[in-house]
Structure 1
Amino acid sequence: MPQPIIEVREVFKSYSPPAGKRFFFRTVKKTAVNALTNINLQIYPGEIFVIVGLSGSGKSTLLRTLNFLIPPGKGEVLFQGQALSALSSAEMIALRRQQIGMVFQSFALFDERTVLDNVAFGLEVAGTGREERHLRAKIMLEKVGLGHVVSHYPHQLSGGMQQRVGLARALVVNPSVLLMDEAFSALDPIIRREMQALLLALQEEHKRTLVFVTHDMEEALRLGTRIAIMEEGKLVQVGSPENIINAPATPYVRHFFSGVDTSRWQLAETYAEVWNTP
């Protein structure tokens, strides 16, 4: 077993809402909300690790602790064995720019920049010369199927094309880890399937470590090497799609995937039992 590229150790995170607000003529008391409770996990090089759960389950909070956009209230996150809490501000910025990329649900493109310059932005910030960064950006745009729109501006692109630009921008700096927070959820179903296929094709070529957050069970099963299921800030099961489908740890996990076609991951023994039952 290789060493984990990211390790989360006993991480807790709570949010405290403002106290003293009036609601229906009464004062709301300040009560902490536990977003993450005792999270422990390891993420290994080259895998697609999918975090799935309902809205409010803590999955996006967990993702953001992995690059300290949201520092844990308690516990530790390690990247390649280095505790992130020990990094200086400058080291943390360098880590996010060079080692741990991120793709959000919102495309977050610069309207005044061409597609080419949007993709090359991270390289520009890193000090890469214009000729080299444009060459690398063009190569990456070809890989995501947008080599023909390098001179276009974001407003001239469809939503799916804009998300391809966002993906290319994150990948062109060659990060060791890419965090993706509901990256395809705003797209229509057909474009979403196309983006999933593109991501899998790029992963087959580059073997990066991807951490992908979604609330879509079918998307989790299609993309994930391993899947972590969250419920109310807790990890309730981590395993391969086959493991989760065939051996759900709790009734919640079983119910979570109850409406999804899981036949691809069913064990042959499961079918044999059904076929041979009187």
Structure 2
Amino acid sequence: MTERLRIENLYKVFGGSPERAMSRLRSGSTKEKVLADTGLVVGLNNVSLSVPSGSIYMIMGLSGSGKSTLARCINRLNEPSAGKILLDGEDLVALGERQLREVRRTRISMVFQHFALLPNRTVTENVEFGLKLRGIPPAVRRRKAEEILSIVGLASWSHRLPHELSGGMRQRVGLARALATDADVLIMDEAFSALDPLIRAEMQEELLRLQRTFQKTILFITHDFQEALKLGTRIAIMADGELMREGEPQEIVLDPQSDYVTSFTKDVDRSRLFDARAAMRPGEVQTIRGSQFALCEYGAIALDSGNRVKGHIALKDIDRLRAGDDMSTLLSADFKTVPPDAKLLDVSRLYKSGRPLVVTDEDQRFIGTVCAESILSQIAALPTGSASARRNPNV
């Protein structure tokens, strides 16, 4: 996946003479010590990260962690004290005022927590407002606004004013306004935090649906770890202006690397986070009487020349196959296939004792198998070192 945005050694110090604070930070001083010694407030302390193109990149932390400061530094609503912000290789920190205005109009859009809609303008006028600032002709911007409103399900509300809409609908308008500009990067600053829980869940699903269509690069700021896990391609966890942990959701839960990050992960519903890939065993591939088989605890998965799954031979019948029985009389269709990204909650519902669960790609090519113990060990965070985990079928 190509890189869209890179942050390099970014500092933000609020107050005069930020160099005094940064020299102390570089020497190992803490945010609290810098405040006590200099009276300066550290917003960001040497933050570096890379945002892949087309990802939903979650930046999370508690109040005062620096997550919103980072978001506002990216489009320079907050001026960085030091460091680089590279958008497709161009350093935004080095831009002049005119260039920065152009970036804000065309390349970076924001979706705010409290909607920030213009109260005296209709839904359509709000959605097309960014295009109007660019000087786009009225007919063109109106057509674009109507197209986006149709996608987010608000076409019939186009002539209403914001106060006539529910909270979720107003947030959809804010999202539509950001999408209408066709910006490279969307920054969503606590965009769903003001919504009721049910509406918030609906908006999370809506964002995932829209992302499948638009494939935008999204920086999503949140204090909710469950939201980060649900939406995020990658997650950066911040505290006291520093980046504490960064990686894919499953990586962070498996290896928090600090007590601070562990405190976020301890109550995670692992069945909804981890997928079949995480619990999968690759299976030992052997040739038996000229045919390929992937061995598993329930027998053998028969594979064709393209590594696609043909069927399953039970453990008790493998000796008959070796002895020369016709494979077609032994082959069973009593197995289930799952994609590698199927969540363990859904995988567990397909499990049946004695029946293999086979992980395949979209072309039905064999990847591995999932057993009951591997599912449970991932959900319960138990080590997979028991006797049955080590057991190989006697083939």
Common fold, TM-score beyond 0.5?
Answer: yes
Q: Which of 229, 237, 240 in structure 2 is aligned with 1:221?
A: 229
Q: Corresponding residue for 1:136?
A: 144
Pairing of 1:35-184 with structure 2 (within 5 A): 35-184=43-192
Contact 2:80 2:93 in 1 (8 A): no
| Equivalent AA in structure 2 for residue 226 of structure 1 | R
| 2:246 is the alignment partner of 1:247 | no
Q: Corresponding residue for 2:212?
A: 204
Contact 1:43 1:49 in 2 (8 A): yes
Write the distance in 2 (CA, Å) between the matches of 1:227 and 1:30: 32
Write the distance in 2 (CA, Å) between the matches of 1:232 and 1:170: 30
Q: Corresponding residue for 1:13?
A: 12
Larger mean CA deviation between 176-185 and 264-273 belongs to 264-273
Write the distance in 1 (CA, Å) between the matches of 2:38 and 2:239: 23
Write the distance in 2 (CA, Å) between the matches of 1:255 and 1:53: 11
For residue 258 of structure 1, report the CA deviation from its aligned partner. 1.9
Look at both structures and tell me which one has the larger radius of gyration over its CA atoms.
Answer: 2
For residue 265 of structure 1, report the CA deviation from its aligned partner. 3.0
Larger mean CA deviation between 251-260 and 95-104 belongs to 251-260
Q: Corresponding residue for 1:21?
A: none
CA-based RMSD: 1.9
Q: Which of 248, 268, 274 in structure 2 is aligned with 1:260?
A: 268
| Equivalent AA in structure 1 for residue 100 of structure 2 | M
Write the distance in 2 (CA, Å) between the matches of 1:29 and 1:236: 24
Residues 13-48 of structure 1 deviation map (CA, whole Å, 9 limit, x = unaligned): 11239xxxxxxxxxx996112111110111111011
For residue 270 of structure 1, report the CA deviation from its aligned partner. 7.9
| Equivalent AA in structure 2 for residue 116 of structure 1 | T
Q: Corresponding residue for 1:185?
A: 193
Q: Corresponding residue for 1:22?
A: none
SS for the counterpart of 1:105 is: coil
| Equivalent AA in structure 1 for residue 260 of structure 2 | Y
| Equivalent AA in structure 2 for residue 69 of structure 1 | L
TM-score scaled by length of structure 2: 0.65
Write the distance in 1 (CA, Å) between the matches of 2:220 and 2:247: 15
SS for the counterpart of 1:56 is: coil
Q: How many residues align?
A: 267
SS for the counterpart of 2:163 is: helix
Contact 1:105 1:183 in 2 (8 A): yes
Residues 222-263 of structure 1 deviation map (CA, whole Å, 9 limit, x = unaligned): 000000000111101110011011111211111112233233
- Structure 1, unaligned runs of 5 or more: 18-27
SS for the counterpart of 1:127 is: coil
Contact 1:16 1:30 in 2 (8 A): no
Write the distance in 1 (CA, Å) between the matches of 2:86 and 2:40: 26
SS for the counterpart of 2:71 is: helix
Contact 1:245 1:265 in 2 (8 A): no
- Structure 2, unaligned runs of 5 or more: 17-35, 280-373, 388-395
Contact 2:186 2:219 in 1 (8 A): yes
SS for the counterpart of 1:198 is: helix
Write the distance in 1 (CA, Å) between the matches of 2:384 and 2:56: 34
SS for the counterpart of 1:5 is: strand
Write the distance in 1 (CA, Å) between the matches of 2:95 and 2:197: 41
Give percent identity, aligned residues only: 45
- Structure 1 runs of 4+ with >3 Å offset: 269-278
